[in-house]
Amino acid sequence: MGVAKKTRKFAQTKRVIGQRDARLKKNQLKGEEVAKKKAAEAAPKHEIPQVSSALFFQANTALGPPYHVLVDTNFLSHTVHGKLDLQSSLMDCLYAKATPIITSCVMAELEKLGPKYRIALRIARDERWERLKCDHKGTYADDCLVDRVMKHRIYLVATNDRDLKRRIRKIPGVPIVSVARSKYVIERLPDAPDSR
């Protein structure tokens, strides 16, 4: 009789539990923690943001002439494209004195856009408009405008940006001015009965 071969046959190795196997105790604990986190995120939040005292039945009583209009980058470019005068067109739209306000973020964004927006930059640099310094990091104008409007409900926002409009519509009592068919259009001004 010969000696039997002691080599293992193919695919008949000793089975070992893998590191990520669900049957291990530490992986079960991790799974429970992840499930708890997901449940906490999905649970309804009971914090209600503080609403401005100027809002009464969604009509902002803090808004009144002379209006303060925060101007966005693309609003200026649409103004140039429509060959509109910023001051007189705003006054025609609002039927009152309006002060365009340009933040340092909007100025930085216009400067970054280059020579294509040089006329809009020239309009923004006009000394008749009011300037606001931004004290936050970065130069993303949309976040800057939304943050400023959330803190103080005394502004109208002039923009043609869809995403920014969507974000501002969620804030009660903030009217939006935009350029449409070579004129300025206002949305949600409480005094005007036809504004929608």
pLDDT in tens, 7-16: 666 666 667 7
Q: Which of 51-60, 86-95, 135-144 has the lowest mean pLDDT?
A: 51-60
Domain ranges of the chain: 64-187
Q: Does the pLDDT at position 195 exceed 80?
A: no
Query: 64-187 has which fold?
Result: Rossmann fold (3.40.50)
Average pLDDT over residues 148-167: 92
Q: Does the pLDDT at position 185 exceed 60?
A: yes
Average model confidence (pLDDT) for the chain? 83
89 pLDDT tier (thresholds 50, 70, 90): very high
Neighbour order of strands in the sheet with 130-132: 130-132, 98-103, 67-71, 155-158, 176-180, 183-187
Cα angle 158, 160, 105 (rounded to 5 degrees) comes to 60
Q: Which of 36-45, 140-149, 187-196 has the lowest mean pLDDT?
A: 187-196
Position 192 scores a pLDDT of: 43
State how far the Cα of 88 lies from the Cα of 97, in Å rounded to an integer: 9
Q: Does the pLDDT at position 196 exceed 50?
A: no
- How confident is the model over 29-65, as pLDDT tens digits? 888 888 888 888 887 766 666 666 667 555 777 788 8
Contact (CB, 8 A) for 76 and 105 = no
- DSSP for 5-37 reads P-PPPTT-PPP---TT-TTSHHHHHHHHHHHHH
Position 64 scores a pLDDT of: 83
Q: Does the pLDDT at position 194 exceed 60?
A: no
Position 19 scores a pLDDT of: 75
Position 45 scores a pLDDT of: 65
Average pLDDT over residues 104-128: 91
Does the reported pTM lie above 0.75? no
